[in-house]
């Protein structure tokens, strides 16, 4: 009987809106966090996929993104904030950026190899590329004009990257950005995991060289 009641309680919680679930969590019902984890897993993945992680496991970034979601649930206030979704978006992004900035001080940390795929081509300092997203306005606050410009910049960066990658590197990169692991990529492309690892290493180097080229071009 208690088991059935427990199931009904969980089902009832899934019918609450985000703000109501957050309020329940803040009042001590920590179990409702799992409801938000499932609901916002798509957002967590979409944020993580904006970064290229070479070495280590993508789970490193996923864990940081989930920590960001937890902080959003913990700190959200219904008064003065438009929506939980927007606040969660911001908290997840900031957590990822904070983790990458911290790992930059640790030479052997997997997160030290993360490269943001949303770096504006007019970066003033290459060494700050990984933290530029923290300086950008929240996506909901970007004007239509700014969004159009950034979309074009992103398209140009992706096009330039495709021009300098080999066929194998293109295939590996495409699957990696879909969230596949080294093992999955090696199986899908019939390559050894060592070959996949080497391909991702070359991709990272080419991305760095390309960012430097864009920086010098902008400065000239």
**Residue 53 φ/ψ, nearest 5 degrees:** -110, 115
How far is 216 from 207, CA to CA, in rounded Å? 14
Q: Give pLDDT tens digits for 120-149.
A: 433 333 333 343 333 333 444 445 665 566
Which segment, 6-20, 102-116, 184-198, is predicted with the most confidence on average? 184-198
Q: What is the pLDDT of residue 145?
A: 63
Q: Going by C-beta distance under 8 Å and a sequence separation of 6 or more, which residues neighbour residue 77? A: none
The confidence score (pLDDT) of residue 141 equals 40
Residues 204/170, Cβ–Cβ less than 8 Å: no
Indicate the DSSP class of residue 108. T
Copy the structure tokens of residue 172.
Answer: 């590996």
pLDDT at res. 103: 65
Out of 21-35, 45-59, 72-86, 197-211, pick the least confident. Answer: 45-59
**Whole-number Å distance between alpha carbons of 77 and 74:** 9
Residue ranges in 49-108 assigned as alpha helix (H): 59-75, 84-103
Query: What's the pTM?
Result: 0.49
Residue 3 pLDDT? 37
**CA separation for the pair 166, 205 (Å, rounded):** 13
Per-residue pLDDT, averaged over 173-193, amounts to 84
Is pLDDT of 215 > 60?
A: no
Tokens encoding 118: 């949303």
For residue 175, pLDDT over 90 is answered with no
The three-state secondary structure class of 220 is: coil
Give yes or no for residue 100 having a pLDDT over 80. no
Residue 22 or residue 154, greater confidence: 22
Q: Mean pLDDT of all residues in the chain? A: 70
pLDDT in the model for residue 149? 63
């Amino acid at each position: 009987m208690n088991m059935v009641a427990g199931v009904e309680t969980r089902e009832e919680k899934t019918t609450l809106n985000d703000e109501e679930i957050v309020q329940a969590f803040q009042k001590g019902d920590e179990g409702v966090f799992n409801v938000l984890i499932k609901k916002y897993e798509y957002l967590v993945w979409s944020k993580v996929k904006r970064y290229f992680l070479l070495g280590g496991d993508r789970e490193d970034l996923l864990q940081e993104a989930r920590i960001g979601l937890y902080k959003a649930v913990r700190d959200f206030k219904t008064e003065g904030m438009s929506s939980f979704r927007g606040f969660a978006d911001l908290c997840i992004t900031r957590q990822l950026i904070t983790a990458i900035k911290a790992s930059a001080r640790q030479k052997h940390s997997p997160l030290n190899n993360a490269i943001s795929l949303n770096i504006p081509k007019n970066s003033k300092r290459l060494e700050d590329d990984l933290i530029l997203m923290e300086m950008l306005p929240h996506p909901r606050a970007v004007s239509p004009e700014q969004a159009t410009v950034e979309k074009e910049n992103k398209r140009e960066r992706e096009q330039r990257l495709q021009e300098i990658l080999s066929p194998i590197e293109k295939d590996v990169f495409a699957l990696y950005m879909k969230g596949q692991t080294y093992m999955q990529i090696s199986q899908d492309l019939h390559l050894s995991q060592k070959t996949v690892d080497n391909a991702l290493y070359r991709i990272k180097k080419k991305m760095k060289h390309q960012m430097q080229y864009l920086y010098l071009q902008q400065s000239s």
